[in-house]
Structure 1
Amino acid sequence: MSDKALLEITDLWVTYWGRSLLGLAGKPFHAVKGANLSIRAGETLGLVGESGSGKSSIANTVLGLVPAASGSMRFGDVDLASLRMRYPSAVRNQIQAVFQDPYSSLNPSMTVEDIVTEPLRVHTAMNRSERRDRAIELLELVSLSREHLERHPHQFSGGQRQRIAIASALALQPKLIVLDEPVSALDVSTQNQIINLLYERRDALGIAYLLIAHDLALVHHISDRIAVMYLGHIVEEGPSDRVYKAPAHPYTKALLDAVPLLDPQAQRDRREARKAAPAHEMPRMAATGCPYKNRCPSAMPRCQAEMPPVYEIDGGGTASCFLYADHVEAPKNGTGRAA
């Protein structure tokens, strides 16, 4: 795995504009606020958080589906943010995606062969025979076979459809695949199969993944590093084991506390402890201070007025929390590692 960043996101802001009844521009909604992230070649970065935290906005901006309001996204020598969604073919070929619903992301009128070879037809000079041979190779990579070529998406299970989507994403041999909740629509046993498949293909082909999910346990299984988002902010980032086993930010701890426990008694004890704990306000956009201040059990007076800087954390990574005010502030290079 290279130490050089394949994708370097610096101070990224993503803004949506509401519309009034008269069609006039309304107030801006900042879905991503100054995000700093990086992904190295062959690495998986897991991006987790609740619905509405800004995860998919980052994914869609990287894919060129949503413009960046400001900041930079350097992919190799190219700043994707400056392209304003108009990616040249050479760049677009290197960034592919697998989405949440494997049925809606596949054209139901196309055969598997057409779906898998569509990127090859558009972006390469392969003839039909060469594309078919490549499609068979790709299907075998995802544990399907040539017998599936003439079938349509409705003839497959959810897990098989997701395998087809993965095969299509691999067709152009991309350097980065954005996985936006790739298994959340599948049952648990199928989720494990797809995650293991992604893990194997990454190691065999040297692909980098940006994995968007809300399940920290699942993300921990496949990711090298984890970044945690809350209301548009990256509140914690670091090595997967450190974030999962020794979370630094109170919000990360809350996410882990939501993961069901295998021990029934421990699960009951935790449920009772939650009931006994004082209630906190529901999340809302804060004009000043820490975005998590209204829900944080460790909130301090300064949290109400000041946005905490990003501090380096023992064990690797960073956290944006005044609990670590005695730590060294991290450089703003998006990596959580020393510049």
Structure 2
Amino acid sequence: MSHPSTSVGEHALVVAERIASADDVVSLVLRHPHGASLPQWRPGAHLDLLLDGGLVRHYSLCGDPGDRSTWRIAVLRVPDGRGGSARVHRDLRVGTPVRVRGPRNGFPLRPAESYLFVAGGIGITPLLPMIAAAEAAGSRWRLLYGGRSRSSMAFLGELAAYGDAVTVRPRDEHGPLDLDGFLRDPDPGTLVYCCGPEPLLAAVEERGRAWPPETLWVERFRTPWQQEAAATAGAFEVVLSRSGHTLHVPPGRSVLETVREAGVSVFSSCAEGICGTCETEVLSGEPDHRDSVLSAEERAAGETMMICVSRARGPRLVLDL
């Protein structure tokens, strides 16, 4: 099953505003250099930011989906990261041209009577437009928002307008988030959306094991290390249906790397199984899913896979490439 996607083309934009939203968090407002309307998007969508040197990083859209004149993203500077966030903070100033790809949505907001939102740090970004949409639809909702300190937590001013529906819990003031008290067992008709660092997602997922299927939806910044390690194991063959070529995928090499080495052009972004850009149709064979995008039902169907991290459960896969 393909994921919702308004537009996956590339766009040449310019930085219209640059705002310090929290400690080490900068918000960038992007617009078309000639004021043209931008493609529509829905809450949960992200952009691929195409940086110099071939770096591609994806960031959640956190502005107003009804505003076709600008897109807003927020970027946390990660000192021990891979260099993308540092480059954004250093180089992207007002007036700087930027290239983006998208929007693409692998974390859509499903209709529901009520919602529980849980955000950790910069994980608030995809939830901001979701909260606005839930409010506009008249759905019941609550947000639990944690971070290191108030100064490190972006968009507190915007969230203050929602009053008691928002619970802000900086760790230096309140300690760890009270997930048990906030989540308990969601009422029927309630969906839980969570985004943040891996320990938070793992803790929420552990509490959600007994909930009805598709109650909990999460978005990850990175693939869990267990998935990364497992994704390197086992050799198998990949048949490219469009050319008929058969490729050997060795241990330690991804399908994405292997097909690119064979000269096949494939879109990708995160290379960690979290953005959905490299989703590829599976024509035959059983994928060994290692992504954080597909639902349990989509994994069981085996119709598509994220070729940057997922592998094969058998000796061969046939892909629509």
Whether these two folds match at TM > 0.5 is no
**Larger helix proportion, structure 1 or 2?**
1
Q: Which structure dedicates a bigger proportion of its chain to strand?
A: 2
When Rg is computed on C-alpha atoms for both structures, the one with the higher figure is 1
Relative to the length of structure 1, the TM-score reads: 0.34
TM-score calculated relative to the size of structure 2: 0.36
